[in-house]
Amino acid sequence: MPIYSEKVMDHFTNPRNVGEIENADGIGEVGNPVCGDMMTFYIKVKNNRLEDVKYKTFGCGAAIAVSSMVSELAKGKTLEEAMKITPESVVNELDGLPTVKHHCSNLGAQALHAAIENYKEKQKAGGQKNG
Amino acid sequence: MKTEMKKVYLDNMATTPVLPDVRRAMLPFLTESFGNPSCLHEWGDVPRDAMEAARRQVADLIGGNPEEIIFTGSGTESNNMAIKGLAMAQQKKGKHVVVSAIEHFSVLNSAKTLEKWGFEYTTVPVDKNGVVNPEDVRKAIRSDTILVSIMQANGEIGTIEPIKEIAKITKEKDILFHTDAVAATGNIPVNVKDLGVDALSLAANMFYGPKGVGALWLKKGTRIMPLLDGGIQEGGRRAGTENVAGIAGMGKAAELARVEMKVRMENLIKIRDYLIKELPLKVSHVIVTGHPQNRLPGHASFCVEFIEGESMLMLLNAKGVGVTSGSACTSRALQASHVLLALGLPHEIAQGSLLFGLGTDNTKEDIDYVLEVLPPIVERLRQMSPLYSKFLKQEKGE
């Protein structure tokens, strides 16, 4: 039996929302090549909702599938809802991950949350945008 | 109609397939000749004779004597037995061991265990091609050194080590020398007398024999402490009822390797060199790891920059190609390969490791297939890699 679920393989082989957003409202970068995975998430915010979510990922099959799933889960959500996306929920949505790959799901949620935090900081520092 | 996808197995450093003649040599001991070779009736005679024939076949492959062959359960067991067993048998003489930085975990972790048992060990470095400098071994030897263990060839980068030169030093200093020849034996000429070693590990599944059987060649008269306590199988040095079918298979595989070695090597070197030459032409930013020439005949290893090995091997698998990687993500320990780091490669490059273990079944067409399917996979992963976009931005900025 392959180590990954069909859903992981689907997101790994056809990752959704890959790319960068020019003039993104928030950027979150987590991980480093030492642990094996790096993710950069880009978000576009409109009316307190994640209008667009994109990412670039350096990492294994699980890291890529997690990035794809997180982007899909987050898109269209309010910032508060998106902050509630947990590593566990990502793993569940992917029909599970091998135990040794669970840290990848942490990274995915962290990168998204870091992008939202980055957006909020910019808001504080640079005045209002779109309410 | 769905057409059968092309399948190309290129992971012979993980294990080789079992040759049909080898399987045939094994089958009687899984059927009618099931007896225990320790028994004195006729049911014991047949498997005992088969084991002794295999012992000779294995000894002939490495230029040793049959009575110097101890059959074990794997290359890992042979290495554990050599490191722990030789050190323990000599601890009155000293408690220091020397290994290289790129040894297999079965050697490195055995040295770590010795440390817990009150021994000390020194690790000698390698150069950027993974070659041990014999003079570094000389420098690492102390007055209380009792054992040196340097591998004959590295399974991850293919580099062949200067075992003969190191043996001259250990002989001069009167220290035991073990070599882990698991990756080498059956694939390149290995002769224990010519090498000048005292102990040598080998495993059947590296030369078209079955998994679960290995051997330790131990020079006559060398004392060793057994890992397993029990009966007097293997001259009391390895207790436990023998894996007769596996041993018979190892014997047959050893014979075939000895007879066919020259032809196998010539064919493998041709397609290996083709892959090593062509891949960097088809994919930019690729590093060949290990020694460019002085390497195992079927071994080609690379680091592909800006992307990670596991995702590459999974996409290759989707194209029917079986390879392996030394990236952190593929290791259960989630650490980049200690071998690649010992070459001085930075983590992000070591993560892009890709290892091709070519075998006797492989053809130039198989390599052409890899050269066709790999470049788009690399391109696709690079397009989604933050490291690659950073690199491109830096390039533009200059």
Q: Annotate B134-182 with DSSP letters as a single string.
A: HHHHHHH--TTEEEEE--SB-TTT-BBP-HHHHHHHHHHHT-EEEEE-T
Rg of the Cα trace of chain A? 14
For the cut 50, the answer to whether the pLDDT of residue B4 exceeds it is yes
Cβ separation A58–B386 shorter than 8 A: yes
Name the average pLDDT for chain A: 92
Relative to beta strand B120-124, strand B96-100 is parallel
Domains located in chain A, CATH noted: 6-121 (3.90.1010.10)
- In 3-state terms, what secondary structure has residue B11? strand
Nearest CA in chain A to B309: A60
Please state the rounded mean pLDDT for residues B139-157. Answer: 98
Are B8-15+261-395 and B20-257 equal in CATH topology?
A: no
Give residue A131's pLDDT. 43
- The chain A residue lying nearest B330, using CA atoms, is A60
| pLDDT exceeds 60 at position A119 | yes
Stated pTM of the model: 0.94
Break chain B into its structural domains and give their ranges: 8-15+261-395, 20-257
Q: What share of chain A is helix, strand, coil (3-state, %, to 5)?
A: 45, 20, 30
pLDDT given at position A104: 80
Of the candidates B307, B310, B332, the beta carbon closest to that of A61 is on B310
- pLDDT (average), residues A95-113: 89
A1 pLDDT more than 80:
no
Q: Give the architecture (CATH level 2) of B20-257.
A: 3-Layer(aba) Sandwich (3.40)
Residues sharing a CB contact under 8 Å with residue B330, sequence separation 6 or more, in sequence order:
A60, B309, B310, B313, B324
* In the predicted structure, residue B333 carries a pLDDT above the cut 80: no
Interface with chain A: mutation pick from B306, B327, B334, highest number of A CBs within 10 Å: B334
**Model ipTM?**
0.90
Residue A130 has pLDDT above 70, yes or no: no
Residues from chain A that touch B384, judged by Cβ atoms under 8 A, are: 15, 18-19, 56-57, 64
Which of A115-129, B105-119, B243-257 is least confident? Answer: A115-129
Touching B: A residues 61-120, CB under 8 Å: 61-64, 100, 103
Average pLDDT over residues B182-187: 98
Mean pLDDT within A13-27:
96
Average pLDDT over residues A23-51: 92
Q: Which of A19-28, A115-124, B322-331 has the lowest mean pLDDT?
A: B322-331
- Is B308 within 8 Å of A12 when comparing Cβ atoms? no
Spelled out in words, what is the top-level CATH class assigned to the domain B8-15+261-395? alpha beta
| Cβ contact B100:B112 at 8 Å | no
Q: Chain A contact for B310, CB < 8 A?
A: yes
* Chain B residues touching A63 at Cβ < 8 A: 308, 311, 329
Confidence band (pLDDT; 50, 70, 90) for A2? confident
Determine contact, residues B348/B303, Cβ cutoff 8 Å.
Answer: no
Mean pLDDT of chain B: 96
Phi, psi dihedrals of residue B107, rounded to the nearest 5°: -90, -50
Top residue of A16, A20, A58 to mutate, by most chain B CBs within 10 Å, is A58
